[in-house]
Amino acid sequence: MPGPLDVFRDNALAGHVALITGGGTGICRGIAAAYARLGADVCIVSRKQDVLDIAAKELSAQTGRTVIGIAADVRDPEAITRAIAATVERFGKLDTLVNGAAGNFLAPAAALSPNGFKTVIDIDLNGTFNASRAAFEHLSKTGDSLILNISATLHYHGTPLQVHASAAKAGVDAVTKNLAVEWGRFKIRVCGIAPGPIAETEGMKRLAPGELTDKMTAGIPAARFGTIDEIAAAAVYLRSPAAAYVTGHVLVVDGGHCVATPALGMSFS
């Protein structure tokens, strides 16, 4: 019987089945790789089947596990329901849902169209609910399930040019807490990870292009961007028996970014 200190042992996730939205690229591809490396079978979901096919093939080759890709837009409840059903049909069950599909761009609120705001809410927030709702029936059958929602720290303060993403991620954190409360009795834990600036992600390419990278790094006490593997390690911990009594919690992994103050113009590097 695995104990709480066996988090990263070989085969820690043998027999597990995880579905990861946004798993074709970036942070969520890193989580897919980590779960598969520890023995899980994984379905990655995003909008583009060609991206998924390449990622699934590479992840299977790297980990020796079965990684499949199913195209679905999380904004479409029927499409994500079909993807989840196909995953259960293929692997026999579902233990873990990671809600990572997200959309973002820099836009001043005064110039952001209502549809631009709605689009990000639809992907991040409604997508998280759609997938969680569709997975509930399957997750409630395993006796040890996890929903892991990837949010951000944008909404802890006002963040310029990010009203759409901040509102969406605040909603995602609210979904984490509410589902944890409602679904605990079904043996479903619901947790979140709030990554700070993470290197080599689509998010940072969009939000901190060029010279903004140095400016942002100066405001991080750890004096660097985080890595995809550091988020994946948090996702492994939250999936493990070590976190069996952790639910409704959002784990911030940001090198201290969100607790630092820019007061007096100080930087940390």
Which of 3, 238, 230, 199 minimizes the C-alpha distance to 98? 238
Binding window for ligand HXC (CB under 6 A); candidates: 63-71, 76-84, 196-204, 241-249:
196-204
- If one asks whether residue 127 binds ligand HXC (CB under 6 A), the answer comes out as no
142-161 footprint of ligand HXC as x/- string (CB under 6 A): ----------x-x-------
Beta carbons of 44 and 24 less than 8 angstroms apart? yes
Could you identify the residue written with the tokens 């990263």? 8
Q: Residue from 51, 86, 107, 216 that binds ligand HXC (CB under 6 A)? A: 107
Q: Residue from 113, 157, 210, 262 that binds ligand HXC (CB under 6 A)? A: 113
Residue among 171 and 197 whose Cβ is closer to ligand HXC: 197
Residue among 77 and 203 whose Cβ is closer to ligand HXC: 203
Q: Residue from 49, 81, 119, 227 that binds ligand HXC (CB under 6 A)? A: 119
CA count, 13 A, side-chain hemisphere, 221 = 9
* Helix runs in the chain, H state only: 26-37, 49-63, 77-91, 114-120, 127-139, 163-183, 202-207, 212-217, 228-239
As a whole number of angstroms, the distance between CA 53 and CA 58 comes to 9
Site residues (CB under 6 A) for ligand HXC?
102-105, 107, 112-113, 115-116, 119-120, 152, 154, 165, 197, 202-203, 206-207
